[in-house]
């Protein structure tokens, strides 16, 4: 990570550094310079439903136009929709998404895609960051146009339905879809349309401040309740920019990314469509996923956290299915990036082709208890493993778990948090160990009492 870029672009509280109009303007200029040097003439800009999106969109667009490159605004659109349009609009050398994903409305972010719909490499990120911070060599010649297109959502919806074509069903699948008051709110109705599904939508009325507000993939309590009481086949929850999803089966049980990966991997394997017999997930994936894939003779590769890291490993090993337990799924034979809408359609396709309920499909994978807790940190991010008491506590817990569990501790790349995850055979013991680690870290670094 650099000064500005975290694990998923630039992110922070809107109207505070680094999510200011000044940085947004300089980012637009930097991306404009980047694409102009590669011979492209335009940058596509999309956003989610946050109230700060308009302000940042105007600044980024002005920055792009100041380099003699056209800024093409799509309005509100899912993050993977911009990735698609990057490859669909040939004159575009990059795409910029203004979104903080699952964060509250007060935050915002900037994500950047290349001309082919993939995210920047580490080297490209560093180059653009240098251009932003130096703010030099800004072209003073031609001025680009700011263009608003109205068909971006429709083109993206058509792309999705072409990738997973459904025949008109004799009996429509009943679905409840939580749009998180985010960028799925409009396109959700276009994709999960009444010709194919009996779909009911909740949290699809964004007002600028209600994105992810007790709804969406991070807050599925209402969705779980409605799936059971309304007796539907499944529920689907997107996050604010619709690049991830969490499913709910007909019994109201949460089905996270690991089990969705397992379901799709098994189906692809049985239909001879799992290229190179590989699935990629992250170091956060449940032990149960590895067991499941091993039982079906599928090679499991773990990547660092972040869909970009998953994609890198997929490309390296020739895999076509990968993802994170948080709900980012990549189907590389269909799209270049994680896509919640596409993932939902893929999951529904398996349900329809097998004729099995989501609960039956998901039950094939055993989920081991996994407890995650967050510790608020400051900018110093100390190396806690250099403190003997902390290091010894963590090692003792690892020894107790043995090969029946694991401990993973890492700093978040998008928020000021230290994430502690413990996995084990029993939920009560796993939770106890996680508390023990958090308490020892907080007590010895931040002088907080044990909680």
Domain shared by 301 and 397, yes or no: no
Q: What is the pLDDT of residues 208-258, one digit of tens each?
A: 999 999 999 999 999 999 999 999 999 999 999 999 999 999 999 999 999
Report the C-alpha gap between 293 and 210 in whole angstroms: 39
- 65 lies in some domain: yes
Quote the CA–CA distance of 437 and 148 in Å, as a whole number: 51
Model pLDDT, residue 450? 46
Angle (nearest 5°) at CA 447 between 445 and 451: 105
Give the rounded distance of the alpha carbon of 447 from its chain centre. Answer: 34
Answer yes or no: do 45 and 108 share one domain.
yes
Domain range for 226: 159-250
pLDDT at 1 over 70: no
Are residues 285 and 219 part of one domain? no
Across 167-176, 202-211, 367-376, least confident range = 167-176
- Same structural domain, 266 and 399: no
Which one, of 103, 110, 111, lies nearest residue 219 by Cα?
103
From 66, 101, 180, 185, active-site residue? 101
Residue 128 has pLDDT above 90, yes or no: yes
- The verdict on 406 and 376 lying in the same domain is yes
Is 336 part of any domain?
A: yes
In a domain, 451, yes or no: no
- Across residues 291-298, what is the average pLDDT? 95
pLDDT of 448: 55
Residue 132 scores a pLDDT above 60: yes
pLDDT at 451: 45
Percent of the chain with pLDDT over 70: 96
The predicted-structure confidence for 12-30, as pLDDT tens digits, reads as follows: 999 999 999 999 999 999 9
Residue 450, in any domain of the structure: no
Which helix H or strand E contains 386, and what residues bound it? none
H-run or E-run covering 278: strand 278-282
Q: Which residue has the tokens 């349309």?
A: 193
Query: Scanning the structure block, which residue is given the tokens 């690991």?
Result: 258
Lowest mean pLDDT among 1-10, 265-274, 367-376, 402-411: 1-10
What pLDDT sits at residue 167? 73
The answer to whether residues 403 and 332 belong to one domain is: no
Split into its structural domains, the chain has a count of 4
Q: What is the pLDDT of residue 138?
A: 67
Q: Are residues 419 and 286 in the same domain?
A: no
309/45 Cα distance (integer angstroms): 24
Q: What is the CATH number of the domain that holds 351?
A: 3.40.120.10
What are 164-185's pLDDT values in tens digits?
888 766 678 999 999 999 999 9
CA distances from 182 to 47, 211, 220 (A): 10, 5, 15
pLDDT at 137: 64
Listed residues 250, 271, 286: the one ending a domain: 250
Phi, psi of 172, rounded to the nearest 5 degrees? -70, 140
pTM of the model: 0.88
How far apart (Å, rounded) are the C-alpha atoms in residues 277 and 280? 10
Secondary structure string (H, E, C) spanning 84-108: HHHHHCCCEEEEEEECCCCCCCCEE
- Rounded Cα–Cα distance for residues 257 and 343 (Å): 10
The answer as to whether 435 is a domain residue is: yes
42-47 and 70-76 as β-strands: parallel, antiparallel, unpaired? parallel
- Give the residue from 250, 282, 316 where a domain finishes: 250
Instruction: Write the CB contacts of 58 (distance below 8 Å, at least 6 apart in sequence).
Output: none
Picking from 8, 30, 245, the residue whose alpha carbon sits closest to that of residue 131 is: 30
- Evaluate whether 77 touches 96 at the Cβ level (below 8 Å): no
195 and 287 together in one domain = no
Residues 95, 15, single domain; the answer is yes
Task: Tell me the C-alpha distance between 112 and 79, whole Å.
Answer: 10
On the question of pLDDT at 127 being above 70, the answer is yes
Residue from 152, 160, 157 nearest 95 by CA: 152
**d(C-alpha 276, C-alpha 188), whole Å:** 33
Query: Residues 230, 202: contact at Cβ < 8 Å?
Result: no
Among 345, 362, 379, the domain boundary falls at 362
- pLDDT above 70 for 446: no
CATH classification of the domain holding 379: 3.30.310.50
Higher pLDDT: 447 or 403? It is 403
In this structure, is residue 21 part of a structural domain? yes
Q: Which residue has the higher pLDDT, 164 or 262?
A: 262
Report pLDDT for 415. Answer: 76
- Please indicate whether residue 217 is annotated as part of the active site: no
Say if residues 183 and 153 touch (Cβ distance below 8 Å): no
**Stretch 100-115: mean pLDDT, rounded?**
96
Same domain, 26 and 69: yes
Looking at every residue in the chain, the average pLDDT score rounds to: 93
| Residues 242 and 321 grouped into a single domain | no
Strand, helix or coil at 85?
A: helix
The more confident residue out of 139 and 319 is 319
**What is the CA 349 to chain-centroid distance, rounded?**
21
H or E stretch at 322: strand 321-323
133 and 88 share a domain?
A: yes
């Amino acid at each position: 990570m650099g000064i500005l870029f975290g694990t998923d672009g630039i992110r922070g509280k809107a109207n505070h550094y680094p999510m200011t109009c000044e940085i947004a303007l300089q980012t637009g200029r930097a991306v404009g310079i980047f694409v102009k040097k590669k011979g492209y003439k335009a940058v596509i800009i999309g956003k989610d439903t946050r109230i700060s999106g308009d302000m940042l969109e105007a600044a980024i667009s002005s920055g792009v136009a100041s380099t003699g490159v056209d800024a093409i605004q799509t309005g509100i659109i899912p993050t993977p929709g911009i990735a698609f349009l990057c490859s669909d609009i040939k004159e575009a050398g990059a795409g910029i998404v203004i979104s903080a994903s699952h964060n509250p409305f007060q935050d915002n972010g900037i994500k950047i895609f290349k001309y082919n719909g993939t995210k920047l490499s580490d080297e490209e990120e560093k180059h653009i960051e240098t251009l932003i911070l130096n703010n030099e060599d800004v072209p003073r010649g031609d001025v680009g146009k700011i263009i608003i297109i109205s068909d971006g959502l429709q083109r993206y919806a058509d792309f999705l339905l072409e990738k997973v074509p459904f025949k008109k069903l004799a009996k429509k699948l009943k679905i409840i879809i939580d749009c998180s008051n985010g960028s799925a709110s409009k396109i959700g109705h276009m994709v999960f349309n009444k010709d194919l599904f009996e779909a009911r939508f909740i949290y699809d009325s964004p007002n600028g401040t209600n994105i992810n507000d007790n709804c969406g993939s991070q807050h599925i309590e209402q969705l779980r309740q409605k799936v059971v009481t309304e007796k539907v086949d499944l529920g689907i929850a997107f996050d604010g920019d619709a690049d991830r999803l969490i499913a709910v089966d007909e019994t109201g049980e949460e089905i996270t990314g690991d089990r969705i990966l397992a379901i799709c991997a098994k189906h692809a394997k049985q239909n001879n469509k799992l290229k190179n017999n590989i699935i990629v997930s992250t170091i956060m994936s449940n032990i149960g996923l590895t067991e499941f894939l091993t039982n079906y003779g599928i090679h499991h590769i773990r990547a660092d956290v972040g869909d970009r890291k998953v994609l890198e490993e997929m490309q390296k090993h020739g895999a076509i299915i990968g993802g994170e337990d948080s709900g980012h799924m990549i189907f590389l034979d269909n799209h270049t990036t994680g896509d919640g809408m596409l993932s939902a359609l893929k999951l529904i396709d398996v349900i329809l082709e097998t004729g099995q309920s989501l609960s039956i499909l998901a039950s094939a994978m055993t989920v081991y208890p996994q407890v995650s807790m967050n510790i608020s940190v400051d900018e110093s991010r100390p190396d806690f493993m250099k403190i003997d008491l902390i290091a010894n506590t963590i090692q003792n817990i690892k020894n107790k778990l043995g090969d029946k569990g694991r401990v993973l501790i890492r700093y978040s790349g998008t928020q000021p948090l230290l994430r502690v995850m413990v996995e084990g055979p029993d939920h009560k013991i796993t939770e106890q160990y996680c508390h023990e680690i958090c308490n020892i870290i907080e007590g010895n670094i931040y002088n907080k009492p044990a909680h």
